[in-house]
Amino acid sequence: MKELLWDKTLSVDVLEIDQDHRRLLELFNRLGHATEEGEPQAYIEALMDELISCTAWHFQHEERLMEKYDYPGLDEHRAEHQELISSGKALQQQLQRSGAPLSAQEIEFLEHWLSAHIYGADMALGSHLAEVM
């Protein structure tokens, strides 16, 4: 599988956000490896639960910073978070229902789910925060 490796291009220039993102990347990579290595379903589901709850917590963290530092794009960014959480939870439920490991396509979906938001909305947020914090 393609690992999501941390590098400077992923940095949004705000340390506390970067630290959260690194943790999410790590969980995604662990989930991908566990899937590839045919680890037990219960372990894969536990990793998926951790990824989703860590993401939900991280979104709250970002939203708190946006409120605190009057980010003009807050509503739009929050809406994107809500969409991501609901598509992530849908995949989590699908994993639990099917009792089968994630497919390569689902892993690819998660990879995009994670990286596209960081490269897009979070970069814009990072530039704002880096100026005002």
Residues engaged in binding Fe ion (CB under 5 A): 62, 122
From the CB of 107, what's the least distance to Fe ion, in Å?
Answer: 21
User: How far is residue 51's CA from residue 67's CA, in Å, rounded to a whole number?
Assistant: 24
**Residue 63 or 106 with smaller CB distance to Fe ion:** 63
C-alpha 14/C-alpha 31 separation (Å) is: 26
Please say which residue, 44 or 114, places its beta carbon nearer to Fe ion: 114
**Residue whose entry in the numeric block shows the structure tokens 């880096």:** 130
Q: How far is the CB of 102 from Fe ion (least distance, A)?
A: 23
Please say which residue, 32 or 59, places its beta carbon nearer to Fe ion: 59
Give the amino acid at 38: G
Please list, in sequence order, all residues whose beta carbon lies within 8 angstroms of the beta carbon of residue 107, skipping any fewer than 6 positions away.
1, 31, 32, 35
Closest to Fe ion by CB, 62 vs 111, is 62
Smallest gap, in angstroms, from Cβ of residue 38 to Fe ion?
Answer: 33
CB of 100 to Fe ion, least distance (A): 30
* Residue 24 · residue 58 · CB < 8 Å: yes
